[in-house]
Structures are given as C-alpha cells and as structure tokens.
Structure 1
C-alpha cells in the first residue's frame, strides 16, 4: 500500500460451485503514477454434502464476502474511499435488490444478514472469467497455476487499469418481469398481501371475499395469515396462542381497505392523491378522507361533538360488496336478530354503508331464523 495514495478502495469478490464457495478481498490504491491491486485475504468453505442449488451456494458465497468485509474493516481501522462487492451471479444480485419479505426463508435470512453487514454499499456484476473468487470456489487449485496467476494475486485486469472509476460502474438492474422469474420467491398470494399498498383496484383480487359465508371465519383466516407473515419476519418475537384483539383489528383494517379498493378504486386514488371529488359526484357531500390506517372515512360529520372518533367519522362501505353483506349478517346475529332499522342504526355507530337500508332489509329477509320466528 502506498504511503500517500490519492484514493484507497476495497473490492470483495464472491463465487460458488457445487464443490465450494467463498470470497476474496483486494485493496486497490491509486497514486499519482501507479495503480496497485493486491490480495489482502480470502476465505473458502466446502459445499454441504446435502445437495444445494447453485443460486443458494452463490448467496452463501456473497454472505462469506459480507462477513469477511466486516472483519477486515474492524481490523484495519482505516477509511476507504470506495468499497464495492462483486459477484457473477445475476440471481443473487436480483435477490439483493428485492425486499427480503418477498423471499423464501433460507434466502430471506441470508439477504437480511448481508444487508445488515454491507448497509448501502454497492453490489456489482463481474463476468465469471474476471472473478478471482472462481479460484476459491474450485476447492482444489494446482499450486503452480496459483503461484503464477495474476488474477489471484493482483485481481482482475479492469481494476489494474488507471482509467477504472468506481463511481462509473453501472449497477446491474433486474427488469421487473425478470424479478418474477427469480427462484425462491414466495407464493403470489402471500407476496401480494405483504407488498406495499397500491392505490388501484388491482389490490382487490388479493382476497377472494366470495369464498367466505361467515364474517368471523373471514376475519380469523386473515388474522392467521397476517400472524404467519409477522412470524416469518420476526424470529425473536413470534406470536402464538389465541388470536389477540390487536391481531383481529389488524385483519379488520386489511379487509376493509381491500373492500374499499374494490368498491371505490377511482375515489380512493383521488383522495389518496389529495384531489377532491367533483361536486356532481354522489360521494362528494361526505367529505371523505383517508385515516392513519389507510381507510376511507366520512368527514365533517359531528366534528365538534363529544362522540367517539368512529361515530364522528364512520368507515365508508359499499352496500354491494360481499364484505358488507357478511358484516351485516354478523351484526344481525349479534343483536339477536334485530329488525332492519335497528340493525342499520347500530351499524352507523362505526360504519357508513352506501345503500345500507336496502342491504339491512335483505339480510333480515333472507335470515332463516327470522323467517321461522
């Protein structure tokens, strides 16, 4: 290493094969007249006896590289102008660009650790021929070949080029369609549930409301799915036992939001983007707004009264949606088969169903117990 270099860089390469996987670290120093690249250290591991896919082994190699970087950084106690990680696996690069929650457990756990160790440092693609970690992944290398290998001792040729600039290395981008073709991605239903909320009607297809005939079963099924997702992300703080009130409330919020996105996609998107509904719109008089749980609520009603928040600003529902039908059936039974007017009066303590009067009549009319009684 030069005494007074213009810049000092660290480059970590990783690779894997069915035999072994590992990583190697190079220090690149740029001075006024020369560029020096030297091997600092390397680490290799024998591949498991149990058959593991090459992409998984490549990810394990990347994890070795991240851990090796962490040890070198803590040992050297010096600042590097640039640190870059290199791999020839496009699948690993695709995984590292995705939210870990969308990946299956094995890949998810290791990508999370890699992100924790490397923070915002860049990962870049290198061709297999220029990857010195290929020599680590072979497991066995002839000593004569190793002693005369410029690739091993001095890194790839592009690093030794004085024209090479860390800031101009193009990132490797995975096209959105290609991301869906990556292995180890969770099933589409779970992926859709945990994906960030989008203000479009497409979100309505996540849960098939028509499959359920009881509100309590729909609510509990959703709560258990959300618990499963929570437990996959929080290994040290898992939920178990009987469903809690908070878990059921979380399920309710998700179900209401999805029903609103199916029933009022255009209105939801407009209000989410702070655009008021046109005066001629049949919902414009309700002064709708979106609350902290991303639910559409009625605004400007009893605003300065002493009623609780849910009564002041009831949640908007469509009387034509299956969720609203299941909710009214559930409340009708809870109220010991109340008449339509009593059912609607009770419901409006927290909800604002559009065309709710007709739906309340239908629920009571179709109730087998009420017909017999």
Structure 2
C-alpha cells in the first residue's frame, strides 16, 4: 500500500507539473515508509514482478534524490485514512511547519539503509552443469576458418565469465584465443585418431614393444 501511494504521488506530481500555467522547477516527494525509500535506491530487476514494475515507473519520472523520509507524526496524508484527535483542517491547506524553514531543517532518517523488506527480493540461483558440445569440423572449408570459429567460442566463454564476475568484458578475439583454439583442436584431433584407429595403434604399440 505504501508503494502504491508512492506511485500515485509520482503520477499526481507529473500531472500538476505538466500544467502550462504553472512553472515548477523542482519537486520533493515524501514518504514515511523507509522500506519504499530503500527500494527506490535499488535496481527494479531485483524484485518480484509487482514491486519491480511500480519501482520502475516511479524511477522513470522522478529522481531518487527527490524522495525524502517523514515521520508518521508529521505525515499529513495519514489524516485521510487514520482517525486522529487533532484538527488537521489548517495543516491540510498550509502544510507542516517544517516546510516553511530551510531544507537543512527538514526531517531525515539516519537508519534508513538498515530497513528493507527482503521478501520482495528475487532469489537468484546459479547452477553449473556439464554438457557435451558436438562439433562438426567438416562444416569448415579450411583450417583457418576452423580455428577462428573455435576462437570465437572461447571469446564467448571469457565474456560470460567476465560478466558474471562484474569485470570488463573482452570485445574481440586475441592471439591467446587463437593459440588456445589451435591447441584444443590438436588435442581433439589426436583423441579422435585414438578412437578411430584404436586397433591399428594397439598393433603398432605391440610391434614397437617387441623391437
């Protein structure tokens, strides 16, 4: 509900600021929900769908720096939904007294960063599996095309590893990729020979042993 209120607040301010007869240079958004204010400082993609879309909408039209915390006691909006013993007729029109002072005197939360509803954060699970890649060397017309194709595969693997580690990602293949590709193909060639000519190699090994 607090997040929905923040969405409505952002929409309302955008509507008011788009009025031609009004010149508004800046806007300040207030919320007494420290959780919502914390959510606005995070990447929307970290949340489940409901929160993700609403946080994203708010951040499309407002800046995080424009959002400020206010105590529930000073939050005049609560007067519309909560029964209080105070007469808020005057404050509804003029606003709270602190708004008439310098911004340095406005309410500030010192513990905002420690409060967050983690139930709305997505759980990311990383799995590692081993798979066999079927590679048809006959598809390539010459040796150069073959080892350059393998070098591109190695580049893609390095790119994924760098992205996962949050490091700068390589953009093009290097001599290291090419050398590694050639060495890998040599090993695969020897392995395929040992399988295809297993009987012949066994005979040669036996004859060599007799010599």
Calculate the TM-score normalised by the size of structure 2.
Answer: 0.63
Secondary structure at 2:68 match in 1: strand
Residues 304-325 of structure 1: per-residue CA shift (max 9 Å, x gap): xxxxxxxxxx74xxxxxxxxxx
Shift of 1:78: 2.3
Q: Please identify the structure whose Cα radius of gyration is greater.
A: 2
From 167, 171, 174, give the equivalent of 1:298.
174
Unaligned runs of 5+ in 2: 135-152, 201-211
Contact 2:70 2:107 in 1 (8 A): no
User: Are residues 92 and 120 of structure 1, via their aligned partners in 2, closer, same or farther at CA, if it must alter by over 3 Å?
Assistant: closer
TM-score by length of 1: 0.39
- CA offset at residue 117 of structure 1? 2.4
Report SS of the residue matched to 1:98.
coil
**Structure 1 position 145, deviation (Å):** 4.7
Separation in structure 1 between the aligned mates of residue 110 and residue 199 of structure 2, nearest angstrom:
68
Match of 2:17 in 1: 73
Give the root-mean-square deviation of aligned CA atoms: 4.3
The answer as to 2:93 corresponding to 1:153 is: yes
Aligned to 1:124, the other structure's residue is in SS state strand
Query: Which residue of 2 is the match for residue 92 of structure 1?
Result: 36
CA distance in structure 2 between the partners assigned to 1:77 and 1:174 by the alignment: 37
Compare the two structures and name the one with the higher strand fraction.
Answer: 1
- Residue number among 119, 125, 147 corresponding to 1:183 in the alignment: 119
Conservation of the 8 A alpha-carbon contact between 1:102 and 1:186: yes
Query: What 5-or-longer segments of structure 1 have no aligned partner?
Result: 1-56, 190-205, 217-250, 273-289, 300-313, 316-347
SS in structure 2 at match of 1:188 = coil
Structure 1 pair 120–98 and aligned structure 2 pair: CA distance change class (3 A)? closer
Correspondence for 2:140: none
Tell whether the 8 Å contact from 1:82 to 1:166 is kept in structure 2 after alignment. no
Partner in structure 2 of residue 31 of structure 1 = none
SS of 1:159's equivalent in the other structure is helix
- The equivalent of 1:356 in structure 2 is 184
8 A contact 2:47–2:120 mirrored in 1:
yes
- Check 1:254–1:131 CA distance in 2 against 1; reply closer, same or farther (3 A cut): farther
Seen in structure 2, the aligned counterparts of structure 1 residues 77 and 254 have a Cα distance that, compared at 3 Å, is farther
Aligned-partner Cα distance in 2 for 1:186–1:165 = 36
Q: Which whole-Å CA distance do the structure 2 matches of 1:254 and 1:137 have between them?
A: 56
Count residues in correspondence. 182
Contact 1:94–1:174 (CA under 8 A) maintained in structure 2? yes
Query: Which structure dedicates a bigger proportion of its chain to helix?
Result: 2
Determine the C-alpha separation between the residues in 1 that align with 2:104 and 2:21. 21
